[in-house]
Amino acid sequence: MDRGMVPLAHPPPLSRLEKELEPYLARASAWRQAIHREPELAYHEERTQQKVLEALSELKIEGRKVGSSTAVVGIIAPHAKGPCVGVRADMDALPIVEGTGAPFASTNGAMHACGHDVHVSSLLGAAAYLKAHEGELKGPVKLLFQPAEEEGARGGALPMIEAGVLTEAPAVDAVLAIHLKNVISNAVFGVRPGAAMAAPDHFVVRVLGRGGHAAYPHKAIDPVLIASEVVVGLQAIVSRYRDPLDPVVVSVSKIHGGAKDNILPDMVELEGTIRTVRPDTRDRVEKVFHRRVQGIVESAGGKAEIDYHRGYPVTVNPPAVADVVEAALRASFDADRVLHLDEPYMGGEDFSHVLNARPGLDMFVGTDDGAAGGQAMHSARYLPPERAILASMAGHVVGIRALQAAPPELLAARK
């Protein structure tokens, strides 16, 4: 795993497959720039949806909207007799003002700061190649362009599943997705069997005190001080209430309260996230969270109102399926291009819902080029390099072929 954490001095040489895909890169790059230039937030991906539908039409691939949502489904080789692989690409952006300075940067106050523009464009690029080689496919390929992955609660994958995208003909036998990763070297693949990404839960805590003059704090119950104690006190969940070898993250990411320097407010609101990878730990941490917040606040004379919402499940790659795709990647790329990851990442993914319904893999593709591709994801400076588009296209093609060639019993395991 360590090799992937250090940027390669140069982009790795093109594999044979990437050389085959290279003629499709210019078109994929143009799609990426068009999508990146006009990012849209969760459930509002109307222009992105239209761009995807237009791209599929150009490629002569059957595509359609999913009900009244912004999702899109496309099908390649719909009548092929072998296993059908569903490939997911998420389309939504984040409420971040872009700071990359790229010529195709967004100017609308939103940003593709998690690489979803590359997810979409690389799947379209792979689709262009697969359409040109449609007769070689062992089975259908169902393209799943999904909204609202960043929404965090209901998301976009679950509504697509409920709308029947996995069960309607041709029914999906296995699933595949790619997630970019800034801490893996540019164009390097990462495969994590088992728990690959965390369950992201969300909380809001309203600390209720008694406002007053800041010059006379003894006559008030200061919710600012109490909220500060809550922020610090919550870190004991990580240090004292879980196995040190069991990954847990507790982050308070938003604090709001007060209006003026000489006024103590009546209320301060905290908002944040908790990440876990084990179901029993998730249950225990939620209970400890409530107990600690209530105890800290009440001991200072205040009251706490807590909204705690569970987000997506843990993203779990069935190990046997992950092994099949990893072997195919190793057969297609140089040894230093494929990492077997020993630990999960603490980001969350609603592709977890899809993996709970069908066997498959959420693989990682690195973007760390020593420049903007190595910047923190969800930051205003993150910009995956074009080389990651080509690598992702290749990853899709290898993954689809591997899953369609997998033993039937492997694909039937989790239906």
| CATH 3.30.70.360 placement within the chain | 198-309
* Fold (topology level) of 2-193+318-411: Aminopeptidase (3.40.630)
Compute the distance between CA of residue 236 and CA of residue 32 in angstroms, rounded to an integer. Answer: 43
CB count in 10 Å sphere of residue 260 = 8
Compute the distance between CA of residue 415 and CA of residue 411 in angstroms, rounded to an integer. Answer: 8
Catalytic residues: 312, 386
Question: What is the value of pTM for the model shown?
Answer: 0.94
What pLDDT does residue 2 have? 43
pLDDT digits (tens, 9 = 90+) for 158-177: 999 999 999 999 999 999 99
Beta bridge partners of 62: 75
Q: What is the largest CA-CA distance in the chain?
A: 79
pLDDT digits (tens, 9 = 90+) for 217-270: 999 999 999 999 999 999 999 999 999 999 999 999 999 999 999 999 999 999
| Pairing status of strand 141-146 against strand 72-76 | antiparallel
159 CB-contact burial (10 Å; exposed 0-12 / middle 13-18 / buried 19+):
buried
Under a CB-based contact definition with an 8 Å cutoff, are residues 321 and 219 in contact?
A: no
CB count in 10 Å sphere of residue 131 = 18
Residues sharing a CB contact under 8 Å with residue 212, sequence separation 6 or more, in sequence order = 219, 220, 263, 264
Distance spanning both ends of the chain, measured CA to CA: 31
| CATH 3.40.630.10 placement within the chain | 2-193+318-411
Residues sharing a CB contact under 8 Å with residue 301, sequence separation 6 or more, in sequence order = 209, 221
What pLDDT does residue 3 have? 41
Spans in the chain with pLDDT lower than 70: 1-9, 413-415
What amino acid is encoded at 24 in this protein? Y
Under a CB-based contact definition with an 8 Å cutoff, are residues 287 and 276 in contact?
A: no
* Fold (topology level) of 198-309: Alpha-Beta Plaits (3.30.70)
Closest CA to 186 of 379, 406, 415, 12: 12
What pLDDT does residue 8 have? 53
Tokens in use for 302? 């205040």
Compute the distance between CA of residue 177 and CA of residue 174 in angstroms, rounded to an integer. Answer: 11
What pLDDT does residue 362 have? 98
